[in-house]
Amino acid sequence: MSNNYFTNPLVFLIETAFFLYMILLALRLLMPWARWDYHHPISQFIVRFTQPPLNLLRSFIPAIGRLDTATLVLLIIVTMIKLLLVSMLFGYLLGPMALIQRSIAEIFSLFITLFTVTILIEVVLSWITPPGSHNPAANLIRRLNAPLLEPVRKKMPSTSGLDLTPLVVVIGLQLLHMLVLPLLLLGL
């Protein structure tokens, strides 16, 4: 058996576990921006799983305005740990600059993926949710995506009841990803 027999499944587990926690941290970072209700069960779940390390970091990292810098720092640390673990499993170690560069690129990709997926979820929910019904998760997703969708929606011409805004924003996000990610990884 080759070395990769156990390495690949282990890398998959590490990347999945860290990705899920990074999503929670990204959502925690976006909660004030999206004006989520902190008493909502989903918000409480996110807070419960992210609060212990944040309590420690908040004791010496103050917020800057509405930016929760402790959460941002924790997201960067978790991303760096993930990248270090994966690189060590494959038998190499990232240098400090490569680690910082890849962490920034990884976090950038995380936010593009997060917004793309939540916009697609919002679209699907709009198709399957009966009119007049209340879905609390849909409300949070709508609030999360509103700062991206609303400015585009205001500038879009009327299309007889068909809202193409999500499509335009997702295409814009993917273009942004294609244009910015290579610049973030330049020199690696």
Alpha-helix runs per DSSP H in 59-128: 69-89, 96-128
Q: CA nearest 107: which of 39, 181, 4, 3?
A: 181
Task: Return per-residue pLDDT of the chain as tens, 188 residues.
Answer: 456 778 889 999 999 999 999 999 999 999 988 889 889 899 999 999 999 999 999 999 988 888 899 999 999 999 999 999 999 998 888 889 999 999 999 999 999 999 999 999 999 988 887 777 777 788 899 999 999 999 999 988 877 778 899 999 999 999 999 999 999 998 76
d(CA 29, CA 27): 5
Q: How many CA atoms lie within 13 A of 123 on its CB side?
A: 16
Which residues does residue 64 pair with via DSSP β-bridges, in sequence order? 67
Given a contact cutoff of 8 angstroms between Cβ atoms, the answer to whether 168 and 62 are in contact is no
Q: Which amino acid, one-letter code, is at 157?
A: P
Which residues does residue 51 pair with via DSSP β-bridges, in sequence order? none
pTM above 0.75, yes or no: yes
Q: CA nearest 82: which of 3, 25, 44?
A: 25
Given a contact cutoff of 8 angstroms between Cβ atoms, the answer to whether 127 and 121 are in contact is no
The residues spanned by each domain of the chain are: 4-184
